[in-house]
Amino acid sequence: MSPMESTAQRPVAVNAPVTDLDPYADAVLDDPYPHYERLRELGPIFYLSRYDAYGLARHAEIDAVLRDPATFCSSAGVGLANFHTTAAWRKPSIILEVDPPMHARTRKVVAGLLAPASINKLRPTFEQQAERLVDALLQQGGQIDAVPALCEAYPLKVFADAVGIPAQGRETYLLPYGDMVFNAFGPVNERFQACLAKAQQGAIEWIGEVCKRENLTSDGLGMQLYQAADEGLLAPDEAPMLVRTLLSAGLDTTVFTLCNAVLSFARHPDQWALVHANPALARQALEEVLRYESTFHSFYRTTTRDVDIAGVQMAPEQKICVLIGSANRDPRRWGETADRFDVTRRAVGNMAFGTGIHGCAGQMIARLEGETLLTVLARRVKAIHLEGAPSMHYNNSVRGYTRMPVRLVAA
C-alpha cells in the first residue's frame, strides 16, 4: 500500500480514504496532475492527514460544494485557518470571506462595476496597449523573458490604469502584495510566512496609500467604489478595502493566466498555429488554457452543519480543500481527452476562477485582458518558441511562473 493510500494516520472519526500527500510541497506543485489523478481515484472525498481537512478532487463534488454557500461557507476563511474557531490573523475579505446577506450587498457593487457592459468600455484601450507592447517586443527581436516583459507588463499597465492607481511603485509592490493574498488561501506555512515578510517591506503600506481616495484618478474603477460609498451603497471604510480587493482579484490572476497561456502554446505549437490562423479563436483558446492549466489550484470551504458527502459524515466547522486544478482535468467531466490541450474544445464549465456566488470577482476583466492580448499575439506572432526551462512561481493557491525565456516569431 502506497503512502497515498495509507490508513496508518486515519483518525477513528474519519470514514474516508486518507492520504498524507502535501498538495503544497514544491515537488507536487512542479507537476500536480499525476497527484490529482491519484486523488480522484481515491474516491469522491478523501482526508488530508497533514492538514486535518477533507479534500475534493472531482468536478461534480467541487461544483456542488461551491454552489451551496449555506452549507459550505466562506466566512470561516478561504484558507486552512478557521476564523470561526480561532482568532483571525488578518481581517477577512468583505467580499470573498463573508456569507449572505452581507455578501450580496458588497458583491452587487463590485459585480456591477465589473459587469461585461462596463468593462467592455475598456476594450479599445486594452487593445491599443496590447498592440503597443507586442509591437515593441517584436521590434526588439522577440527574444524575451515572457514573465516580466509580457505577462506582468501588460496587466500592470492596463488593469492598474483602469483601477486608477499611481504608476510609481506598481512594479515593486503590486505583485508581492497579490502573492501574499493568494498564498493566504492555503495553510499558514513557510512559503506564506516568507511572502508576508516580503510584503511587509513596503507593499502593504504602499497599497494602503494608493487605495485612498485622494490618490486615485477621477475616472477609474477605484473612484467608482468611493462614489458608491457616497451613495450609501457601501460604508465609507469599505471603499478602500474593495479597491484593494480589485487589485488582487484582477491583477495576479491575469498575470498567471497569461504565463500559463504562453507556456501552453509554446509547448503545443500545433495549437498556436490554429489560433494564429484564426485569431477569432482567442477567447475559446483562453478558456481552454484556464481549464488545462488552471490559474487557481485550491482553496477552502467550511461546513456550517452536519453534512454528508458521498457517504462521509462531517461535523460543523470542518475545513474542506477544493482542488480546482484537479476538477478541470477530471475525465468524468471532460472525457478521455481531459489531459490534452485542445483549443477547439468548448471548455465551458471550467472552474479556473471558482464558481457560485464566490466566483472570482475579477474574472471578467481577467478574461478581457487575456482575450485581448492573445488576439493581438495571434495576429502578429506566427510562432512561440520556448528557449529554456521556465521557473515555477510557488504559491499556495495559484499557478504561474517567475521566468519563461521564449522567442516570438513575427508573422
pLDDT tens string 122-146: 999 999 999 999 999 999 999 999 9
C-alpha–C-alpha distance, residues 300 and 373, integer Å = 31
The grid coordinates of residue 391 equal 521557473
- Confidence class of residue 360 from pLDDT cuts 50, 70 and 90? confident
User: DSSP assignment of 78-105, as one string?
Assistant: SSSS-TTTS--SSPPPTTTS--TTHHHH
Ramachandran angles phi, psi of 243, nearest 5°:
-60, -45
Q: Report the candidate in 25, 14, 69 with the shortest Cα–Cα distance to residue 322.
A: 69
Is 201 a residue whose pLDDT tops 80?
yes
Which residue has 515572457 as its cell numbers?
146
DSSP string computed for 239-290: HHHHHHHHHHHHTHHHHHHHHHHHHHHHH-HHHHHHHHH-GGGHHHHHHHHH
pLDDT beyond 50 at 10 = no
pLDDT of residue 212 exceeding 90, the answer is: yes
Q: Is the pLDDT of residue 276 over 50?
A: yes
At a CB cut-off of 8 Å and minimum separation 6, what does 203 contact? Answer: 172, 173, 174, 176, 177, 180
Section 56-81 average pLDDT: 95
Distance of alpha carbon 235 from alpha carbon 98, whole angstroms: 15
| Beta-strand pair 319-322/53-56 | parallel
* Inter-CA distances, 320 with 70, 72, 209, 352, Å: 14, 9, 35, 18
| pTM given for the model | 0.93
The larger pLDDT score, comparing residue 97 to residue 341, is at 341
> Comparing C-alpha atoms, which of 180, 190, 186 is closest to residue 80?
186
* Contact assessment for residue 301 and residue 185, using Cβ atoms and an 8 Å cutoff: no
Give how far the C-alpha of residue 183 lies from the chain's centroid of Cα atoms, to the nearest Å.
11
CATH class entry, domain 3-410: mainly alpha
Percent of the chain's residues with pLDDT above 70:
97
* Cell triple for 38: 491519484
CA-CA distance, 189 to 310, in Å (whole number)?
30
The DSSP string of 369-401 is HHHHHHHHHHHHEEEEEE-S--EEE--SSB-EE
The DSSP call for residue 319 is E
Domain parsing of the chain, residue ranges: 3-410
- Average model confidence (pLDDT) across the chain: 92
Rounded mean pLDDT of 187-214?
Answer: 94
Tell me which H or E stretch contains 56: strand 53-56
Choice between 116 and 70, residue whose per-residue pLDDT is larger: 70
324-339 CB burial, b ≥16 within 10 A, e <16: bbbbbbbeebbeeebe
Residue 89: pLDDT band (50, 70, 90) is low
Q: Which amino acid is at 58?
A: R
For residues 170 and 327, what is the distance between their CA atoms, to the nearest angstrom?
34
Least confident of 161-165, 353-357, 400-404: 353-357
Distance CA 152, CA 150 (A): 6
Q: How far apart are CA 174 and CA 169, in angstroms?
A: 8
